């Protein structure tokens, strides 16, 4: 396909982040619903399980960071 024949789609930043993460092979996401990241968390919780991954909502920001660090440590 040439650049002129590639279909284009206008998406918001959260959608672009989620699609990029999934395309890059992301299999785990932990987040906390706080503006402006709430839409990213919601989309990851909806889309990541479809790709065989896990998305978790932490009780606060520090817990979500801890989950990410823990899964990173165990994955290696």
Residue 3 counted as domain residue: no
Residue 47 counted as domain residue: yes
Domain with 18, as residue range(s), is 13-75
Residue 23 counted as domain residue: yes
CA dihedral over 48, 62, 33, 39, signed as positive or negative: negative
Closest C-alpha among 24, 42, 21 to residue 33:
42
Residue 8 counted as domain residue: no
Q: Which three-class secondary structure state does DSSP give residue 31?
A: strand
Residue 1 counted as domain residue: no
Prediction pTM value: 0.81
| Tokens 């092979």 sit on residue | 25
Domain count for the chain: 1
Q: Which three-class secondary structure state does DSSP give residue 32?
A: coil
* Segment 16-68, tens digit of pLDDT: 999 999 999 999 999 998 888 899 999 999 999 999 999 999 999 999 999 99
Closest C-alpha among 64, 62, 4 to residue 29:
64
């Amino acid at each position: 396909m040439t650049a002129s024949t590639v279909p284009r789609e206008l998406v918001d930043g959260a959608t672009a982040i989620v699609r990029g993460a999934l395309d890059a092979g992301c299999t785990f996401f932990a987040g906390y619903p706080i503006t402006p990241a709430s839409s990213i968390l919601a989309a990851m919780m909806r889309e990541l399980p479809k790709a065989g991954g896990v998305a978790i909502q932490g009780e606060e920001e520090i817990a979500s960071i801890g989950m990410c660090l823990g899964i990173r440590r165990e994955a290696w």
